[in-house]
Structure formats: structure tokens, C-alpha cells
Structure 1
């Protein structure tokens, strides 16, 4: 099957259980799948695609089902975790490969870790950005989230009610996204926690106003907002609406470790990292193949966009450890 050059990214559609998945690929070499989180798209990896391609990898950034140009099934339960694992397997097959390394951020990290857990025959290593690995099991997720926040409501519970978050976001997608990105980025974080909603309020009530984080240009925001203005938010939000289904579907994997070689990178100012500090401490048992773990001081949630050069360096160092030394097809062994 023809592959892309290290120079030009290529957009393509491939078949999957969702119907079709849109992806952007660049480079030749060992396959690395890049999985974005909420509320993003393949575009979250725009800084990593050329860097990984130049380092000798076939980098593929996927629009997860429900996002961008990928299919958006109407049924809520079509967004359960095992369906997303099946999508990742379908991408590997459609690209003519037998295995891949997974790199995920935010929800993409959880999708990547679960894919590695369920299909170790296909996914030989996994890098997790922002959200640590926590094995399946424990209390029912909706019950846990309902107890969080005290008099306020945790954002996951807010997202889980069909139509509720859509009614807040869709009248002003661009403005909402700008505020959400700013609220979770190191240089624009507000003083009050944006993950909680006052009773009768909106999530955006605590977002910064008229400020963009340093990593997000107006043109970048146009790209990100344009996708959601076209697709709506329901496909993306349906991921949150399947967490109890995932808990049931993955019951046989309760407490199971991910044993493949792994990497974790978190932001020192990211709530995803600080809330789940116990999960990071448990890595010797839950990620026994962990080769490196990094907490980036002064970094927020959107690691690969806030600190692209640092993330690229850490990923490439880890990939060379996992895949062995590789060289770009258009460069000799002296390339760095």
C-alpha cells in the first residue's frame, strides 16, 4: 500500500465499524496512531505529525467517531469504549499494518489505554498524555461523579444529560470553545475551578472572557470551531454518556494492568493530573511496562499544543526506545 512522504500530510477516509473514519497521515515507518480528546479533532496533533514523520515514523492523527469528518452514529451507545477500540483496530487494518503504537491525549489517552488493554495483539505500546491510566472496575462512574462538587455539579455529570450541554454550546460554538481552551491552559486559567457548575448555572460562567491561550491563534480557533459548527456537539459529548456502559462492558478487565511499554506525560497545572495523583503513584502495578513518566511544571491540559517542542522530543525519545532506532526514508543514519 502506498505511504505518504515525510513532507506532505495526506487526508483520507477509511472504513470502520462507525462507517468511516477521517485521518491525516504523514511519513513512513512504524505506525503511530494519535488520538485526540474533547473537544478537539485530528488538528490537535498538527505539531506532532511533521515532527514524527521527520523522525522516521508513519504518524496518523484520527478524527475519533463523532468528530470532524468521521461518521457520527445516531445511537448514544454507539460511542461506548469497545466501539472506539474496534475503530482503532480497523484503522490499523485499513492502513495495511498489523500493529501500531498508540498516543492519546485526554479522552484519547483513555481510548488508547483501553485499546492496549483489550487488544494487546494489535497495540504494542501506548503513550498517555494528561489523563493517567486507571484500570476498569471500582464504583459505578455516574455515582462517583454525582458525589463530586458538593453544592455544585461536576462537569461530567453535566455533560451526561443528553441535550443539556448542547443547549449551552451550540448557539456560540466558537466563543464556548475559546473559553474552554483558555480555562484549561496554563497562561489563561481562571481563579475559580471551571470543572464545576453552580446549580442552575452554565459551565461557561467560569471561563475566561476575551482571552486566548498562547498556543491558540484566531486561525487555529477557526479550524477547531468550524468542525463543531458543522457537526454539532452531540457525537463528542456522547462519549461521556457511555461511562456506565463502559464499566459494565469492561467488567472482565477489572483491575487489569496495561503491560505493554508505556509513557505518561502530565501537566503540573492540569486537574486531570492532580486529581488522579493516586493513579500515577499506582503505575508500578497498573503500568508495569512504564519506561518514563513526566510532569511538566507550569503546563496546563493541552500539553502537545502548549509545549509542542518538548512533547515532540519526549515522544520521539520514547518511540526510539520502543521501536528501535529508525531513520526517515529520505535521510541517512546521521539524521537526528
Structure 2
């Protein structure tokens, strides 16, 4: 197994830094794993190990606001323009011009912004749970796609995205609630899924946050002691939880404060992407529901070389089904961008029968 090494790159005139994990041969094809909310670089460890083992140079950063990267309580640090500046510095630190970019949750919004702003740096694009041309375009990128059969506009004007409006209306109150038990929330997001929820009931909880409160109005997050053991291996979970306890939720949650600014930065819809793209649907993600709703439409309309795969998992698919996710990524690369598979173009491989 390849050794994972720690690195950091400074940018913004040396004011900010991004810490990142790297593994695999330095001359291997480059792939980035970009986490979302809440996660850190180490939560991609099973992807880093798998990709390094077949010859990729695999890299996962602590995104700005997380882990060992700069985590200032300055909201401007977490708009997409600022985040993309950091990732371009990260790419430059590798000495490469382009990579395969894999993003999950807000990481999907970030890799989508990279594809819009710097398409020449994206050999292939992989979005997990959140499609291209949605969240990175601000409210107009995803609110019109709400399934109004489930969320009538007169009752749920923001649909399942009500919780995002809660950030805008009472950010400090939200963070105060989260930070009552950071370790407990980390454990909650890392639980082995139980019986699959009724989609409408689960969706209702996210659509009423401003009215009822978080997690159905609990006075505080559940503690780790109230929950079962995390599905993540202990060494990964302990590192993730320690990092989140160090930063708290303010900085990572500030990504939600810039819908208007992100829309100005990335412009209107219909950004065409012609290189290979993969979307990973997760069957039981009731908030980022992409199988029955219209949320997937913009990616289908604007990615001309698109592959889709569905994994029987909930939102945190890399926690729950790492082998299945790795297999889907491997197959996509071999099928759609074979020149990025280590040794593919150099091997004397032929089918004789």
C-alpha cells in the first residue's frame, strides 16, 4: 500500500493555505477528491488507497475552512471564486496542467465551478450527489428544479432546500446549535444506515428547518454516546472528528452564504462541458434526490459526454459503499478516458479471439 504524505500550498499572497494528502506514484495520472459538508481529506482515504494501488497520483485536500487548511471566520473566504483560487494553487503545486476532478456534496459544486471557470484543467468531471450546473449557480441553479408534487410552493417555498435558507436567515444561531456537540454530529453523519426512510417523511424534515428546527427540533445534536459505532474505520473517523472539533462548523458552513455571489461569478445556466463526465446517483439520498426529480436536468443538458451510475446508498456513499464507488469510478475511467488509466496506452494488450 502506498504511503500517504502531507503537503500544503499557500496562495492569496501567502495569507491562506491548503493542506492536502497525496499518495501514489508522482508521475501517475492525477486525480483529485474534493469533499463536501462536513468532511475532510482523510474521509477519502479508501479512495486514495484504491487509486494509488493501481498507479494514480491521488490527492485529497482539506477544503478551505476544514482540517489543517486555513479556517478563518471570514465569510468571503468561502465563496466559489475564493475556493477556486485555492484549487488552482493546489493544481499548480502538483506541477500538472489538468486532472480528473471528483467532487461530493459541496465538493461537486466546487468541481463544477472549476469546470466552468477553467475547463482546460478538467480531463474528466465526476459529480457525486449534486449535479453540474446546479448549486454553483446560486439559488436559480437548483430552486426551480424542486419537485412541487412533493413540496407545494405555497407550503414549502424552498422545498427540501429550506435548510439552506436557514443558514442565510440565522447563520450564527445555526452554528451555535451545531457546535453544541461537534463530535456527535460527526458520528451522526457516519452511521451505518438503518431501514431506508420514507422519502416524503425524510424530505419533510429538511423542508421545515426554519419552522421546526434542526433534526426535527431537537434542542441539541445527539451525542456520540447515543449513537451506534461509526461506519468509518476508527482511524479515519477519529481524525475527521478531531479536525471538525478544531474548526467547528462555522467555516465549513459558510459555503452556504454565497448563493448570490456565486451566481454572479459563474453566470447563468447552460455552461457546456464536452470532456467526459460522470454523475453518481445515490438511491437513498432524499435531499439531493436525482432519480425522480428534475435536479439532474442541467447536467444532462450541458454535458455532451455523460455517463450515469446509481449506487444503492444514502448521501455519504464514500462512507457507506466505498468499494462500489471505487468500482464505478474505475469503470468510468477505463470506458470514457482510457488514456488516464495507468499504463493503458503503453501496454501491448490485444484481444485475439
CA–CA distance in 1 between the matches of 2:164 and 2:68? 25
Tell me if the contact between 1:7 and 1:26 (Cα under 8 Å) persists in the aligned partners: yes
Count of aligned residue pairs for this structure pair? 321
The aligned counterpart of 1:3 is none
Q: How does 1:111-150 map to 2 (within 5 A)?
A: 111-135=110-134, 140=140, 149=156
Q: How does 1:318-333 map to 2 (within 5 A)?
A: 318-320=332-334, 321-324=336-339, 326-327=341-342
The aligned counterpart of 2:11 is 16
Tell me if the contact between 2:280 and 2:308 (Cα under 8 Å) persists in the aligned partners: yes
Gaps of 5+ in 2: none
Task: Encode CA deviations 1:269-313: one digit per residue, 9 max, x unaligned.
Answer: 1121348732324544221121x201123x100112211111111
The aligned counterpart of 2:83 is 84
- Comparing 279-288 and 142-151, the one that deviates more: 142-151
CA spacing shift, 1:188–1:219, aligned 2, 3 Å: farther
TM-score by length of 2: 0.80
CA–CA distance in 2 between the matches of 1:205 and 1:188? 22
CA drift at 1:218:
5.2
Is the aligned partner of 1:300 residue 2:311? no
Taking only aligned residues, the RMSD between alpha carbons, in angstroms, comes to 3.1
Task: Encode CA deviations 1:95-130: one digit per residue, 9 max, x unaligned.
Answer: 111111100011101111110121012122111111
SS at match of 2:295: helix
CA–CA distance in 2 between the matches of 1:151 and 1:283? 21
Q: How does 1:1-336 map to 2 (within 5 A)?
A: 7-17=2-12, 19-28=16-25, 29-135=28-134, 140=140, 149=156, 154-160=162-168, 161-182=170-191, 186-187=193-194, 192-193=201-202, 194-195=205-206, 196-197=208-209, 199=211, 201-203=213-215, 205=217, 210-212=226-228, 215-217=231-233, 219-251=235-267, 253-271=268-286, 272-274=288-290, 277-290=293-306, 292-297=307-312, 299-320=313-334, 321-324=336-339, 326-327=341-342
CA–CA distance in 2 between the matches of 1:121 and 1:141? 23
CA drift at 1:74:
3.3
- Comparing 167-176 and 188-197, the one that deviates more: 188-197
CA–CA distance in 2 between the matches of 1:54 and 1:61? 15
CA drift at 1:190:
5.5
CA–CA distance in 2 between the matches of 1:151 and 1:36? 25
CA drift at 1:44:
1.8
CA–CA distance in 2 between the matches of 1:220 and 1:108? 19
CA–CA distance in 2 between the matches of 1:150 and 1:117? 29
TM-score by length of 1: 0.84
Tell me if the contact between 1:116 and 1:260 (Cα under 8 Å) persists in the aligned partners: no
CA–CA distance in 1 between the matches of 2:322 and 2:256? 27
CA spacing shift, 1:178–1:159, aligned 2, 3 Å: farther
Task: Encode CA deviations 1:200-257: one digit per residue, 9 max, x unaligned.
Answer: 5333647888334762355543322211111121110110011121112222x53222
Tell me if the contact between 1:141 and 1:243 (Cα under 8 Å) persists in the aligned partners: no
CA–CA distance in 1 between the matches of 2:2 and 2:214? 44
Gaps of 5+ in 1: 1-5
- Comparing 305-314 and 148-157, the one that deviates more: 148-157
